[in-house]
Amino acid sequence: MVLKKNLNHQQKPQQSKAMKRKIPVFRVHVQPGADYDQLHDIPEVKEVVIEEVIVAIKDAIKRKKSSIELFEVANSDYYLELKKDKFKSSLETAIEYFVEKEEYDRCIECRDLINKL
């Protein structure tokens, strides 16, 4: 994932026939002395990120995008971006997550997305 400056932050949304995916705002409060690297160990954060990765990759495939904006970072002009070369590994991580949770239908959904890449 890449942290990028949102240069379109002040522009008005464009009207289009197809609804664009609304990029969620990522708000996190880290305790003093804690490290942001520890976020991926929090089950709730991991679940939200994995769910949004799937939604965003579906949208990217549909729109033939080479990257996706996963989250806008709260109170900033930055967003987290995922490049197309990371789509497959992100979906493979999601499959591992869903296997652990025994949500095999979600594994199939991820596998099908990988096959569309």
Domain containing 41 equals 2-84
CA 12 to chain CA mean position, Å: 23
pLDDT of the chain, 117 residues: tens digit per residue:
554 444 444 333 333 445 677 777 767 666 676 666 666 677 777 888 899 999 999 999 999 999 998 888 777 778 788 999 999 999 999 999 999 999 999 999 999 999 999
Residues with Cβ within 8 Å of residue 37, at least 6 apart in sequence: none
- Residue 70 included in any domain: yes
**pLDDT value, residue 104:** 97
The crossing angle, in degrees rounded to 10, of helices 87-100 and 43-63 is 140
**pLDDT value, residue 70:** 86
- Residue 109 included in any domain: no
- Residue 90 included in any domain: no
Q: Burial, 61: exposed, middle or buried (Cβ in 10 Å; 0-12, 13-18, 19+)?
A: middle
**pLDDT value, residue 14:** 39
- Residue 102 included in any domain: no
Q: What whole-number distance in Å separates Cα of residue 107 and Cα of residue 94?
A: 8
**pLDDT value, residue 13:** 39
- Residue 100 included in any domain: no
**pLDDT value, residue 7:** 41
- Residue 40 included in any domain: yes
- Residue 59 included in any domain: yes
- Residue 36 included in any domain: yes
pTM for this prediction:
0.73
**pLDDT value, residue 12:** 37
- The number of distinct structural domains making up the chain is 1
